[in-house]
Structure 1
């Protein structure tokens, strides 16, 4: 029977730049964020005894003098312009519309789309009018908390490791091999069903485990953090990225690189 044995090693120290700043820290309800009265209270916070306290469990964020706490576990509330990934379950419009759409999409298809409108009851209107949206082909879907996906100018990325990623604001992340043709040549509803090579599957599997590692450590996900975590993971086998001690190591190295980049 094979047994994994990990010998104790000196853990890399995180620079003071990572730990000294309040921004990015995890807090629980009732924790003191700051006693500096010059800061303004944002959502997820409240004042008590001249101190700014957290009202929810989450990550501290600061914009100039405004401090807020972004909840780690929250229901996705869509905003116009959000990129979402989801699965077609049913159609609710007229029979003519449903019949026309069946030539493009079927129930069970995975798609990427953009939020066009948000209704008063919370329902979202989606569109796939751009060629970069539409049916998703072969790849891997990873689900994380929506609060961990950082809002950016673009959520579609082609990573230098040889894979493409869609970071849905709703917490659904799509990983796929980098297409050989551009979106303009292919079109949003054309899918590639060719067999995926072993090397592409290994890259996607590694990325998938890196995203789960970042989620386990409550780190924000965007193209840079995912890429840095992938590069930190190259010292380990793909299956070992599911081990707690390996997760802590690669995420710590990722956090270190991000701090050095920002600092």
Structure 2
């Protein structure tokens, strides 16, 4: 007769961790359309949709439950624009008298020819010659900084670069963070240790040797500043250091946001 000796039953790690801290457990990951609960005694939070007496996820992400309240936090979210936001984007296409710019939004933004400063900073009415020369100013793939001028009825954004601090961006490094981590502030353009940093409200951060304040709006590339990137103290130390600082700040703000959201939901209950 064999004797089998067993230890105490293993305690599942997730049962001793608070619900709001278990954001990456396998059973909390749901996809769009997945059934979350059955019954009419549950509350529908953001990221969920009631279907009859059932509750389903409307986005893919992490399921969070607070008593009867169900939420789904999406992994990624698009930029929600406001008039006056500073954004960093990439030229997606060139059309008649306008550029289409990818600004991490659900649709491309519009940068009209009349809303840009031409080389030399002259303010005048744009004509047919300017439309023909549009590709000389901004090509597909160029990076630009701009400001949200208008949000139209269907949600399409209209940008402008009339201020000299906006315009075409030269050589640099692009860092993407969730737009929700960019908090409102007085200035979105900074210089740190001689390195220019543009914090876009759309979650795109641009790091370059220096900020552009030239009267040509950045359309004429100054190769002297580009060569400065080859200096060891800039290319090997300053720019990577600032990039690491931004990524560390991104993680810190993400943790802080989760804590604030959990505290707010606990108070709501």
Pick aligned residue for 2:78 from 75, 78, 90: 75
Runs of 4+ in 1 over 6 A off after TM superposition: 25-28
Distance 1:120 1:173 in 2: 28
Distance 2:242 2:205 in 1: 11
Aligned pairs (5 A) from 1:57-72:
57=73
Q: Aligned residue for 1:140?
A: 173
Offset of residue 184 of structure 1:
4.8
From the superposition, tell whether residues 213 and 121 of structure 1 become closer, same or farther in structure 2 (CA, over 3 Å): same
Distance 2:145 2:183 in 1: 17
TM-score normalised to the size of structure 2?
A: 0.51
Q: CA RMSD in A?
A: 3.5
Offset of residue 89 of structure 1:
1.5
Figure out how many residues of one structure are paired with residues of the other and give that number. Answer: 165
Q: Aligned residue for 1:117?
A: 150
Distance 1:86 1:77 in 2: 14
Per the alignment, in what secondary structure is the counterpart of residue 170 of structure 1?
coil
| Kept after mapping to 1: 8 A contact 2:94/2:135 | no
From the superposition, tell whether residues 157 and 26 of structure 1 become closer, same or farther in structure 2 (CA, over 3 Å): farther
| Kept after mapping to 1: 8 A contact 2:170/2:218 | no
Q: Which runs of 5+ in 1 are unaligned?
A: 1-24, 29-42, 45-50, 58-70, 221-250, 253-263
Distance 2:221 2:163 in 1: 15
Q: Aligned residue for 1:104?
A: 137
Q: Which runs of 5+ in 2 are unaligned?
A: 1-19, 24-44, 47-66, 99-127, 257-269
Q: Aligned residue for 2:121?
A: none
Offset of residue 218 of structure 1:
4.9
Which one has a larger percent strand, Structure 1 or Structure 2?
A: 2
Larger radius of gyration: 2
Q: Aligned residue for 1:183?
A: 213
TM-score normalised to the size of structure 1?
A: 0.52
Pick aligned residue for 1:92 from 95, 115, 120: 95
Pick aligned residue for 1:154 from 181, 187, 194: 187
Pick aligned residue for 1:212 from 243, 247, 257: 247
| Kept after mapping to 2: 8 A contact 1:138/1:192 | no
Pick aligned residue for 1:203 from 238, 253, 258: 238
